[in-house]
Structure 1
Amino acid sequence: MPAPPPPLDCPPGLEYLTQIDQILVHQQVELLEVLTGFETNNKYEIKNSLGQRVYFAVEENDCCTRNCFGPSRPFTLRILDNLGREVITLQRPLACGSCCCPCCLQEIEVQAPPGIPIGYVAQNWHPCLPKFTIQNEKREDVLKVVGPCVVCSCCSDIDFEIKSLDEESLVGKISKHWTGFLREAFTDADNFGIQFPLDLDVKIKAVMLGACFLIVSVPTDPGYRGLPRILLK
């Protein structure tokens, strides 16, 4: 996909996002992880609706952290364009994400270009619903993310709705796509889709991409009715 001319106030490398209203995130299957269960750094292809690769994402972590903390682990996720330039950096500190510990909930910082924060995604405490808030670079609330009460999938997608702050208007959604029994059972490589308005602020689009990576890694918690393994990578 050729890069369009950069609009005003658009961080370098995010020009692609100004032209699309949907992103597909495909996690790559790691053969070593499938055969041994040994947790490896996750890698993702980020594509447009035509299947053209727009970005490539690589988790940066050490072996001990990955295998000791599992889905709760802190990580840095580097998102590269097709020329290998890092355009977005996602940083998540160590946190439990449990509704029993409201003082230790998950959060991710989105930087574009690397080192310059453009937004945050913060997990909100709720006894039974997975909820998150999308914030701008000033930590002002912009949008809400609300997941289903029972986060369970069998032959169907799981949708997290992106809503206005009053939760009255639907803005978009983040979906975990069903990929078939064999893939779901024997690998942790998942496919996700993100939908948003075409004219949405490009920085918020990038933060919504960060929200996708945060949502799918929130640890299992009784308050969330037992998130299935296929959603917790």
Structure 2
Amino acid sequence: MIDLSQHPELYVRQEIEHLEVFVGFETQNRYSVRTPSGEQLLYAFEESGLLGRSFLSSHRPLTIHVVDRDNTEVISASRSFFWFHSHLHVSDGTGQRIGSMQRRFSFLTRKFDLMDATGSVVAEMRGPIFRPFTFMVYQQGQEIGRVTKQWSGLGREAFTDADTFKVEVDTSRTDKDFSLLMLASAISIDLDFFEK
């Protein structure tokens, strides 16, 4: 299994769904996970129902499967339908829970708790209202990571909802499970805030 703690910087790029571009029909999302040099490490895909995608939009129940080049599942992340605050559960390829991400109520910022397998909060993710494309991750008041939506170009931004996210993790202060949780968090942020 790939150890993401060896990669302090990754890019999560949503694949363009041509049916969405031409018809406006919401399809299951697909993502590639790449190094800064462009090497593809992982592939992620959404599993969800047609009615949920059509009528529940970003509130839909879903499972994200992340697989390596050999099509071996590295992580799965799932959430149920929610009204206000999403809660994403993340498991490794064997089904062992490694953590979760829970959105919290907050004025003028978007806040999430990042929790370990036992449910203990290990970090807080904040997305300031005046920096809508940046989510910083703090542990005991110090920044240990961030997820940033990257500009994808005028055509891609205007006509698709296919986004690219840069995931940065201070791997000297975190473990491999935290790196996997950050990867799942980037996809969750896309689904919660940047789906049209």
Give the TM-score normalised by the residue count of structure 2: 0.94
Deviations 1:58-97 (A, max 9, x none): 1011211111111111110100100011111010111123
Q: 1:84 corresponds to which residue?
A: 71
Residue in structure 2 matching 1:125, options 105, 108, 127: 105
Contact 2:30 2:44 in 1 (8 A): yes
Provide the C-alpha distance between the structure 2 equivalents of 1:89 and 1:20, rounded to a whole number of angstroms: 19
> C-alpha separation between the residues in 2 aligned to 1:203 and 1:142?
11
Task: Flag the structure with larger Rg.
Answer: 1
Q: Is the 8 A contact 2:72 2:93 kept in 1?
A: no
Task: Determine the C-alpha separation between the residues in 2 that align with 1:114 and 1:46.
Answer: 20
The aligned residue for residue 150 of structure 1 is: 130
Match of 1:206 in 2: 180
Q: CA deviation at 1:216?
A: 2.2
Counterpart in 1 of 2:116? 136
Question: 8 Å contact 2:100–2:181 — kept in the other structure?
Answer: yes
In structure 2, the residue matched to 1:162 is: 137
TM superposition shift of 1:41: 0.3
Gaps of 5+ in 1: 1-12, 98-104, 153-157, 220-230
CA RMSD of aligned residues (A): 1.4
Report deviation, 1:114.
Answer: 4.1
Matched residue, 1:36: 23
Q: How far, CA to CA, are the matches of 1:206 and 1:126 in structure 2?
A: 25
Give % identity: 28
Q: What is the distance in 2 between the residues matched to 1:18 and 1:125?
A: 30
Using the size of structure 1 for normalisation, the TM-score is 0.80
Alignment check: 8 A CA contact 1:34 1:187 kept: yes
Q: Match of 2:128, SS? A: coil
Aligned length: 195
Q: Which aligned runs of 4 or more in structure 1 are off by greater than 3 angstroms?
A: none
- Is residue 89–residue 114 contact of structure 1 (8 Å, CA) maintained in 2? no
Greater percentage in strand:
2
| Contact 1:23/1:46 (8 A) holds in 2 | yes
Structure 2 gap ranges (5+): none
